[in-house]
Structure 1
Amino acid sequence: MKNLPILDLSIIALYLLAMVVVGVYFSRKNKSAEQFTKASGSIPGWAIGLSIYATFLSSNTFLGVPGKAFGSNWNAFVFSISMPFAAWVASKYFVPFYRKSGEISAYTHLEHRFGPWARTYTVVCFLLTQLARMGSIFFGIALSLQALIGYPMSTIMVVMGACIILYTVLGGMEAVIWTEVIQGIIKTLGALLILYLIIADMPGGVSKMIEIGVSDKKFGLGSISPNFVESTFWVVLFYGFFINLNNFGMDQNYVQRYHTAASQKEASRSLWLCVAMYVPASLLFFIIGAALYSYYQIHPEQIETVRQQVAAERLGAAATSAQISQMAASLRPEDYGDKVMPFFMVSKMPTGILGLVVSALLSAAMSTISSGMNASATVFTVDIYKRYFKPNLSDSRTLRTLHIATVVFGLFGLCTGLAMIGVKSVLDIWWQLSGIFAGGMLGLFLLGIISRQTKNAEALTATIIGIVVILWLTFSAKLPQQYEFLRNPLHTNMTIVVGTLTIFLIGLALTQSKRKRKEEPLQVVELETSM
């Protein structure tokens, strides 16, 4: 087990304590449901933008992106390239819509358009997405800290979860936003520090990193051929556009922040500030992944420890050293990419610096989890509990329900993370799960916003068909060999694209068909009258 020096442990402990103190500080103002969910609309736009940026820059980015770049190339960076397009749509249409409606929940509008089923359906999809997000982040940070301090992943998740739940329940949305402002700065500085240490210890520096990266095609963005079976440039671009449109347009994490701004203009500015910061920040993490690849190409003997560790985990406790060595030799970079940056940190970082970087890693996880807990509690309270069980709930009881729901969803997220132990790539599992759940609600939301003539029957039919398509896209790969012709040929990242378009386009087609059926009798009547 790695025993961190007392200085590093002290820095980490002070950081965790500081986050709890922030929650205690804001708890003095957190006396109403509106304060807990909206911070009374008093947060400046720049702080909201940093908060959204911190939510995006989770431990999935901090660990998953360098691991992805180490194992393959920069294909996943196309996800970030898609963000400005989604942000333009959201700032032009969605932000004004939410600010005008005044509804704290992103899903109330769907009930007005299509009925209670639409609101409940999208809420369930959102909550499942949040559990997947929180679980993957719990897992990602525990994977990293296990390599750094040696404690079991389950223990790490429980301790971290307790701290996050405490400051989120105490401080509400205002505490979430201001801690994310701090965390966004810390994690960015931590990433810059990691890159500096890699380059400083690499013979040949930046030029050598570029030379190795170009030679091994580490900077490629993917094939530009119209191929949707593999992870091409277009597959990631379409996936990124739709998932970011879902994030900016109907994810409660972001919609709730639009209401915390003092004006619509401030809310739109916060969105663009997030994009302006996240795109170069994500590029920084891809550079870190490429730098780590080049570093360990120069020092291949140093990475052998990671290869042996991964092989031992896969083979189990009964494996012999010869079996472990044989499997380790057969592993490819993509098989152990997520473990490389934690290994570099634990083996190369000096005392004191390591504690700061671990704090940055913790902040990357805590910001997104706390945001997800608050948003999930808000959606559950407004869209489920008050809608179906206690519609006339007093403000004090509403606040109490929000507190309880925050704790419950934090625990659910923790359990999801524990269930993910053993997953190969934290970024891959998050992208796959988010595509499945988000694909089922974005199409319905777009249908409700864009097609004003679409009614309940058309929307429900389109949604049912869309769900069937998403289930086929997700599970058809498990069909027996004799039914291979029924398997989904597309890449898993296309699930949200196809699912969204299925619901949206079928809804439009059914609406148009209904209009034509109503118009035809009128045309016949006019013809007979003229005769």
Structure 2
Amino acid sequence: MKTLPFFDLAIIAAYLLAMVLVGVYFSRKNKNADQFTKASGLIPGWATGLSIYATFLSSNTFLGVPGKAFGSNWNSFVFSLSMPLAAFIASKYFIPFYRQTGEISAYTHFEHRFGSWARTYAVICFLLTQLARMGSIFLGIALSLQALTGYSMQMIMIVMGVCIIIYTVMGGMEAVIWTEVVQAVVKTLGALLIVYLIVQAVPGGTSKIVAIGADNDKFSLGTFRFTFTESSFWVVLLYGLFINLNNFGMDQNYIQRYHTTASVKEASRSLWLCVWLYLPASLLFFIIGSCLFAYYQVHPELIDAIKQKVAMDRLPAGASAAEVSQLVATLQPADYGDKVMPHFMVTKVPPGLMGLIISAILSAAMSTISSGMNASATVFTEDIYKRYINANVSKRKLLTLLHLATVVVGLAGLAAGLAMIGVKSILDAWWTLSGIFAAGMLGLFLLGLISRQTKSTEALTATIIGVLVIVWMTFSGKLPNDYSFLRNPLHSNMIIVVGTLTIFLVGLLLTRLNKRRSPSRIEPVIVPND
């Protein structure tokens, strides 16, 4: 079992202790639900912007993006290029809308617009999305720390989960935001340090990395052909636009932050700060992936150890050496991309710096999980407990419920991470799951926001049709060969695009048809005089 030097362990322990102490410090202020959920609206816009940026820059970015770039190219960076357009729409329409309603939950207005079924549906979609997000992040951090420490992934997830739950429950939204401000700085510096170490380890430095990357088409953004059956430039751009519209317009993690600032203007500034920080930061992680590819091209003998580990993880216990060798021979870079950065850290990062980089990876995981826990607890109390159980709950009991819900959500996210052990690509798993759960929410939200004439019946019918389309696109690939003609021909990233448009367009069509069937005005009845 690998063990970290004492100095590195001390740095990691100090970082974790500092995060818990932040929770303890802010626990003195958390005397009511308003403080716990939105910090009483007193957070400066720049801090909220760094907090949103830290939520975006999760361990999925820290590990999944370099792994994706290593295994393929920069095609996934197109996701980041869609963010400015999504932010423009959100700052112009979504933020003023939510600030005007004054509702802390992103889903309360669904009931006002279409009825209780719409609110319930949106809440279920959001909670499933959060479980998928937290599970993939727990998995990412466990993959990294297992390679660095040798401890089991299960143990790593449990220890991390307990630490995150403690400071999130104690500190509330204010602790989440201010710890994310620190984490945003730590993880960005950690990424810059990793780039420096890789470039230093490649003979020939930057010029050699660029040459190897160009020879292997590592800087490509994907094909520009208008094809939607593969991960083309246009597929990722559409996916990014729709998923970011969902993030900025429907995700409680972000909607809740719009209420932590003093004004609409401050909220909009915080969103744009996130976008302009995330664009170069995400590019930095693609650069890390390309640098790692060049490093292992120069040192191909080191790849064998990674392949052996992946093969042994995939095969059942007791597999023969021949079986391992046979699987190793079939593995492609995309099969072990998530493993290369942890391997590089184990073999090349000097003692002392290891603790700093691990702290950066931890911060990437902790920021997103803690905000997801707080947001999910808020949704539970506002949209489930107060709506269906007790609308007049006392302030003290409401705060207790928020604490309990935070713990339960944290444990559920941890369970999701344990269940995801063994997935091929963290980033692919998260993108697929988020697209499935988010499509219905976004389509229904846009229908209610844009078409003011759409009624509950039309919206419900459109949602049912949209969900059926999403289910078909998700699971039709598993149909037997005899029914291959029924399989979804589009790339999985198109699920959110097609699902959203189906609900929105079917809703508009039904509204138009019903409007034609109903008389536009009642003609006066003329009674003849006797």
TM tier, smaller: over 0.9
Counting only pairs closer than 5 Å after superposition, residues 89-488 of structure 1 correspond to structure 2 as 89-488=89-488
Structure 1 unaligned spans of 5+: none
- Secondary structure at the residue paired with 2:228? coil
- Aligned equivalents of 2:311 and 2:408: distance in 1? 36
- Aligned equivalents of 1:314 and 1:470: distance in 2? 30
Range moving further from structure 2, 295-304 or 325-334? 325-334
- Aligned equivalents of 1:408 and 1:475: distance in 2? 30
- Secondary structure at the residue paired with 2:393? coil
- Aligned equivalents of 2:405 and 2:34: distance in 1? 15
Q: CA deviation at 1:320?
A: 2.2
What is the identity, as a one-letter code, of the residue corresponding to 2:315? L
Q: CA deviation at 1:520?
A: 6.8
What is the identity, as a one-letter code, of the residue corresponding to 1:443? G
Cα deviation digits, residues 36-83 of structure 1 (max 9, x gap):
001000000000000000000000000000000000000000000000
- Secondary structure at the residue paired with 2:453? coil
- Secondary structure at the residue paired with 2:206? helix
Give the percent of matched residue pairs that are identical in Structure 1 and Structure 2: 72
Cα deviation digits, residues 486-509 of structure 1 (max 9, x gap):
111110000000000000000011
- Aligned equivalents of 2:427 and 2:189: distance in 1? 22
Partner of 2:50: 50
Tell me, yes or no, if structure 1 residue 70 matches structure 2 residue 59. Answer: no
- Aligned equivalents of 2:325 and 2:277: distance in 1? 43
- Aligned equivalents of 2:228 and 2:67: distance in 1? 23
Tell me, yes or no, if structure 1 residue 88 matches structure 2 residue 84. Answer: no
Cα deviation digits, residues 244-287 of structure 1 (max 9, x gap):
00000110000000000011100000000000000100000000
Q: CA deviation at 1:116?
A: 0.6
- Secondary structure at the residue paired with 2:106? coil
- Aligned equivalents of 2:234 and 2:474: distance in 1? 20
Q: State the aligned residue count.
A: 527
- Aligned equivalents of 1:270 and 1:308: distance in 2? 45
Cα deviation digits, residues 386-409 of structure 1 (max 9, x gap):
000010001111100000000000
- Aligned equivalents of 1:440 and 1:28: distance in 2? 40
- Secondary structure at the residue paired with 1:336? helix
- Aligned equivalents of 1:117 and 1:330: distance in 2? 49
1:254 to 1:520, Cα distance in 2 relative to 1, 3 A: closer
Q: CA deviation at 1:517?
A: 1.5
- Aligned equivalents of 1:158 and 1:315: distance in 2? 25
Partner of 2:60: 60
Cα deviation digits, residues 123-170 of structure 1 (max 9, x gap):
000000000000000011001100000000000000000000000000
What is the identity, as a one-letter code, of the residue corresponding to 1:439? A
Q: Which 4+ stretches in 1 moved above 2 angstroms?
A: 320-323, 519-522
- Secondary structure at the residue paired with 2:518? helix
- Aligned equivalents of 1:12 and 1:337: distance in 2? 25
Cα deviation digits, residues 403-457 of structure 1 (max 9, x gap):
0000000000000000001111000000000000000110000011111111111
- Aligned equivalents of 2:118 and 2:315: distance in 1? 46
- Aligned equivalents of 2:440 and 2:46: distance in 1? 32
What is the identity, as a one-letter code, of the residue corresponding to 1:436? I
Q: CA deviation at 1:519?
A: 3.8
Q: CA deviation at 1:316?
A: 2.5
- Aligned equivalents of 2:327 and 2:501: distance in 1? 43
- Aligned equivalents of 1:382 and 1:301: distance in 2? 56
- Aligned equivalents of 1:405 and 1:388: distance in 2? 16
- Aligned equivalents of 1:389 and 1:8: distance in 2? 49
Q: CA deviation at 1:311?
A: 1.2
RMSD: 1.3
Q: CA deviation at 1:481?
A: 1.5
- Aligned equivalents of 1:323 and 1:454: distance in 2? 59
- Secondary structure at the residue paired with 2:225? coil
Partner of 2:506: 506
What is the identity, as a one-letter code, of the residue corresponding to 2:295? Y
